[in-house]
Amino acid sequence: QVQLVESGGGLVQAGVSLRLSCAASGRTFSTYAMGWFRQAPGKEREFVAAISRSGGNIYYPDSVKGRFTISRDNAKNTVYLQMDSLKPEDTAVYYCAADQWGAGSSRGKQYDIWGQGTQVTVSS
C-alpha cells in the first residue's frame, strides 16, 4: 500500500501558476489510478482531476478544464497538478488520492488512500 505526500502549495496572486506534486512511497505506484481533490472551508470536497494508471486517460470537471493539467511519472512515483490562471475560488486544501487497479474516477469514495493535503491560497 502506498503512502502519499503532497507538496507545492502556497499563497499566490490571481493569474499565476502553481504546480502541486504528490509523491508516493512503495513500488506499486503504477497500479494506482490517481486523483486530485480539493476542499475549501465550509464546502464539500470537490473533484479536480484524475489520471489512469498508464496516464492514457485523464478527467477534469468543467471548473478547471483548460486551466489545470494532471500528469504522472511512474518512474518517479509522482503525480502532478499544474494549475494555471489561478483564481481566488481555487483557494482550498488540495489532496491527492490513490485507487489501486482503478481507471480514474471523479468519485472520492473510489479512492482508499489519501494524502494529508497542501494548502493553496489565491489572493485577488
Query: ∠ CA(89), CA(19), CA(37), 5° rounding?
Result: 55
Percent of the chain exceeding pLDDT 90 equals 98
Express each pLDDT in 52-102 by its tens digit: 999 999 999 999 999 999 999 999 999 999 999 999 999 999 999 999 999
Residue 26 has pLDDT above 90, yes or no: no
**pLDDT at 42 (0 to 100):** 95
